[in-house]
Structure 1
Amino acid sequence: MDRRTRRELGDFLRSRRARITPADLGLPAGTRRRTPGLRREEVAQLAHISPEYYARLEQARAPHPSREVLTQLARALRLSDVERDHLHRLAGLPPGPPPGPCREVRQSIVDLLDRLPQAAAVVVSATNEVIAWNTLATALMEDFSALSRPERNLMRRTFLTPPQGGRRLYGVADTAEFARTSAHHLRTTAARYPDDPEVRALVDELLAGSPEFAALWAAHDVTDRPIPCKTFEHPLVGTLTVRCDVLDITDRDQRVLIYTAAPNSPSEEAMRLLSVIGTQRMDDALAPAP
């Protein structure tokens, strides 16, 4: 890199550091901060590099950073795919594959979910992990906040959870089509993130634990057809059929799944009742009156 390119790289890193607050990462803000962004030492710690080396990068005095260092910096600074590619180009390296599926949901998307009171909506990552949801989604499907990360993965729930009354996926009655499309989607994800350990571990876990998944995986299909409707068997409101619309968040490789009922249908009445129930736990709602 020449001197000018090093300055560009340093300025870019500094600008990305300034936009992240300690609260974004669960760090204490403290009382001695002169700027709202992260300190250099904090970025260095998150990226697993020395504070001195990171300071030299920002000051345009460091040697050529390796691809590994750039990957760690992209994760520490929560760069989008476009920003990650730009960082690599500034460092004189062609952009490599994305380091792993993004799990950070933009605040505007979280706000959008909350503004859909008559729709159940979730955000899923490239590995089909539920990473954001609204109140009606918890009433229709599950209280995701009470689940661990592995339990919030729709593929684990589909292929590795024993059926209960014929249902595995959070009350979804018709899981066969989702099983097929999710396996096809995961193969595409695995090709997009070939070096991500979580993606590899998920594939290995599903192959070892589910003959059904293994058979779908062996077909090498990569189609990803949307599922227009889903049928739920709910313990309080019974059977309801909802339309499923998918909005792609391309820059983060995420999808918003929005479930709505047809107007003036019994399912719409059921969804309206669920919106009143909210996040009330199902076992409490079904408990007999004292």
Structure 2
Amino acid sequence: MGLRREELAELAGLSVDYVVRLEQGRATNPSAQVVASLARALQLEPLERDYAYRLAGLLPPQEGAISTHVPAGVQRMLARLGEFPVGVFSADWTLLSWTPAWAVLMGDPSARKHAERNLVRAVFAAGPRGLVAWPVLPDNDALNPALVADLRTALVNYPRDRGLNDLVAELRSTSAEFARLWDEGAVGPHVSTRKVIMHPQVGEVRCDCDVLTVPGCDIRLVVYTVAAGSADAEKLEFLRVTNGVCADGSSPPEPGLFSTP
């Protein structure tokens, strides 16, 4: 792909120093999460991804387990949608990838651990602020039943996924609301909603939130949009400009950086 080390590190949520140590063979035991992040950043196809796992001395994701692989086509689509805040989630609602505009609107998730990037855990265990840096106020109560319904469907599709089973067991024991919705067999589709992001730089930003699914894989795209020409659009543009996000949604390259081999 011709990515600079700094660009690869940013896309994968890793430090530049760690990427350099991987290249030089000084970091010899990368975790499955690290390999998955690098595979997404490099837009590897499934066979290439599995080879990367084996090079790291790890077993590739097995059938019956939730995939954290973001297809190359979705990665390319994200690049074209860079001006919009878009987050990519796996079947268990773990944040896998995001656009720079998502980071400036919702807070940069790159410093968060893998477990902290799970939306369901954030909503039921840590509150709506668990996954983002500041409050997000929904306009209805449809999200929580829809998330529980999604996890129930995921458990049917991936009954042997240990992480998913552990997540359900954890939330049933720590969240009375989750346990109630789970035991009631809560169902509910994701619907377009209006949300208010309480951003520390610009105050309230009112956005429409849509959840899109990708045919052929259990990937969800959460897209935030604002009405063209509105005060909210001006606020979002201000955030993009002041946080160094280019007009096409990308982060500007630093001068003098060199490409990875």
TM-score by length of 1: 0.61
- If asked which structure has higher relative contact order (CA below 8 Å, sep 6+), I would say 2
Residue type of the alignment partner of 2:136: V
Aligned-partner SS, 1:244:
strand
Deviation at 1:172, TM superposition (A): 1.2
* Correspondence for 2:136 among 172, 175, 182: 172
Measured at CA, do residues 37 and 117 of structure 1 come closer, stay the same or move farther in structure 2, by a change above 3 Å?
Answer: closer
Contact 2:142 2:188 in 1 (8 A): no
Task: Find the partner of 1:201 among 155, 159, 166.
Answer: 166
Determine if the alignment matches structure 1 residue 110 to structure 2 residue 89. Answer: no
- The answer for the alignment partner of 1:254 in structure 2 is 219
5+ long unaligned stretches in structure 1:
1-22, 28-35, 48-71, 77-97, 281-290
Cα separation, 2, equivalents of 1:125 and 1:38? 18
Aligned length: 200
Identify the residue that residue 150 of structure 2 maps to in structure 1. 185
CA gap 1:102/1:234 in 2 versus in 1, 3 angstroms = same
Which residue matches 1:241? 206
Q: Which residue of 1 aligns with 2:88?
A: 123
**4+ residue runs over 6 A deviation:** 36-39
Q: Which residue does the alignment assign to 1:276?
A: 241
Over the aligned positions, Cα root-mean-square deviation in angstroms equals 3.2
Distance in 1 separating the partners of 2:90 and 2:237: 28
Matches within 5 A, 1:22-37: 25=35
Shift in Å, 1:107: 2.6
Question: Are 1:123 and 1:131, in contact at CA under 8 Å, matched by a contact in 2?
Answer: yes
The structure that has the greater radius of gyration is 1
Matched, 1:230 2:204: no
Q: Aligned to 1:183, what secondary structure does the other structure show?
A: helix
Deviation at 1:38, TM superposition (A): 8.2
